[in-house]
Structure 1
Amino acid sequence: MMNPTEIIPGVIFFSYHSAMRKEKIAFLEHNTLVLQVLGRFTLETATQKISMEAGEMLLIRKNQLGEITKMPLDGQDYQTIVIRLTEDLLRKIALEEQIEVAQKYTEASNLLIPGNDFLHAFFQSLMPYVRHPEKKITNEVGILKVKEAVYLLLDIMPGLREFLFDFSEPYKMDLEKFMLTNFHYNVPIEKFAHLTGRSLAGFKRDFQKIFGMAPRRWLLEMRLKEALHLIEKKNKKPSGIYLDLGFESLSHFSHSFKKKFGKAPTEWLI
């Protein structure tokens, strides 16, 4: 079986594997609904760490940075069904149902959804498409299925209106606090600007005022400083930390580390 299987390309996925996997997801762009079929799913952001196991459901807020860990349990495979609730679709539903949200959503970014027979039955209705991938679901039916998920969520938790239909831009937030918390995520500067509620030019201008250097240089400095701390004080191996610190390859990390500190990271372990 392909992993993950796209039930509706870009919208609904079935994830399947049998070994633990840790993914630096970095930018969680869309509101997302996840049903845990088997195993344990853990999402960790700067403000929350939340886990769920078989039969549980999680609603993830758009525009976040986070890390996901997928772990099989009790010798079984790991399985999830993931539905992206894209803003375009949510806007269409808001227009059709004349839904207006007057205030910005400010509560928890990730919510466990209470068990519900109707929502579980909805997810079960997707399984035939997982078992028979050759039977391609039409775009029209796919959109109806996603709309059904949204209506069921609103029926279970009416308060999710603000969560789902808040289309406002992020408020201009404390850039220094945000960057010190999230510097290890490997995302483009443009994403950092968006998440702090700034244009790219405004982000670079504010960043220079606060940190006294350009964003890319500061990110590299912070990541290398944290790497030295982990290697020297925590006895961490370079191969075990470079991805968590936002480096795309071990060779790039090692080259940058040696250039900064005069020795390769492995030499600090001797």
Structure 2
Amino acid sequence: MSNLADLSLRPRILYSCYHNRSAEGEQFVPEHILSFQIAGTLTTFDGSRKQVFREGDLRLSKRNHLVKFSKQPPEHGEFKSLSVTLDQETLRRFSLEHSYHTPGPAEPAEAIVALPLTPLYQSYLDSLRPYEQLAEAGSAGFLALKVHEAILLLLNSNPELQHVLFDFTEPGKLDLEAFMNRNFHFNVRLPRFAYLTGRSLATFKRDFEKIFQLSPSRWLLRRRLQEAYFLIKEKGRAPSEAYLEVGFEDLSHFSFAFKKMYGVAPSKL
């Protein structure tokens, strides 16, 4: 199984396949990723927007975003997707080679862009289907050409994406209170939250305590438990579902913290 956040080899073309079961999780997307849904359904949530991608759908996941996902195979089948990572190093070389000037930071928008499957995209994706051949030793040059081709296709079919692809700036300083209230349920470490809000870890902690009057770890624990209480009590979610939705890794730790805060086990609500 492939993880879209695993970028140890560049350029990278990944083929994901999950057998007869659903898979849920979350990830930080460090690079732009062009993905084609071959079979099954992918449901994503970026903190404010839910999207569903089905067989035949094409999407571009933007870098520096947090995304929750659920991968559902078709009945009696496998979840399959094909993804092309457009890393910053490759995009910088491309911009220099083709004289694309960085237009400045892209406007904040959705984490994932749905793209229409044009004949040009379809032809390109068909050329990637024999993944076993792409993965053979000595194919690095060919893979680099296919990533280069993907960039050209995106610019030809969706020229407005140049503002996304060639934005090489790091996250700017954001409204910390709004960001945390929107993203508290993502299970990422404090340095990642700090980076995404345009702060050093020390500045993040200092600004956080000024705003919330609590340390980040204590606020996150309390806020996640409050959300879990709401989901279980008001929305009828099972504790085994709610703890993952709000950013806990372990059900037993969640149950212990919940009972400590509310005086009752989540299963007793």
TM-score by length of 1: 0.89
Within 2, Cα distance between the matches of 1:120 and 1:188? 38
Give the structure 1 partner of residue 257 of structure 2: 256
In the alignment, structure 1 residue 60 sits paired with structure 2 residue 61: yes
Contact 2:22/2:73 (8 A) holds in 1:
no
Within 1, Cα distance between the matches of 2:47 and 2:224? 16
Contact 2:128/2:134 (8 A) holds in 1:
no
Within 1, Cα distance between the matches of 2:181 and 2:256? 24
Give the structure 1 partner of residue 118 of structure 2: 116
The offset of 1:26, in angstroms, is 3.4
Within 2, Cα distance between the matches of 1:137 and 1:123? 21
**Identical positions, percent:** 38
In the alignment, structure 1 residue 163 sits paired with structure 2 residue 164: yes
Q: What code does the residue aligned with 1:249 have?
A: D
The offset of 1:22, in angstroms, is 4.2
In the alignment, structure 1 residue 127 sits paired with structure 2 residue 162: no
Give the structure 2 partner of residue 101 of structure 1: 102
In the alignment, structure 1 residue 197 sits paired with structure 2 residue 198: yes
Contact 1:129/1:137 (8 A) holds in 2:
no
Give the structure 1 partner of residue 173 of structure 2: 172
Within 2, Cα distance between the matches of 1:184 and 1:241? 10
Residue segments in structure 1 that go unaligned for 5+ positions in a row: none
Within 2, Cα distance between the matches of 1:121 and 1:107? 31
Aligned pair in 2 of structure 1 residues 239, 47: CA closer, same or farther (>3 Å)? Answer: closer
Give the structure 2 partner of residue 71 of structure 1: 72
Q: What code does the residue aligned with 1:94 have?
A: S
Aligned pair in 2 of structure 1 residues 104, 17: CA closer, same or farther (>3 Å)? Answer: same
Aligned-residue Cα RMSD (Å) equals 2.3
Residue segments in structure 2 that go unaligned for 5+ positions in a row: none
Give the structure 2 partner of residue 33 of structure 1: 34
Q: What code does the residue aligned with 1:16 have?
A: C
Give the structure 2 partner of residue 217 of structure 1: 218
Give the structure 2 partner of residue 87 of structure 1: 88
Contact 1:184/1:246 (8 A) holds in 2:
yes
Within 2, Cα distance between the matches of 1:38 and 1:196? 35
Within 1, Cα distance between the matches of 2:57 and 2:225? 38
Give the structure 2 partner of residue 229 of structure 1: 230
Contact 2:103/2:166 (8 A) holds in 1:
no
CA shift digits 1:192-214 (9 cap, x unpaired)? 11111111111111101100011
The offset of 1:119, in angstroms, is 2.1
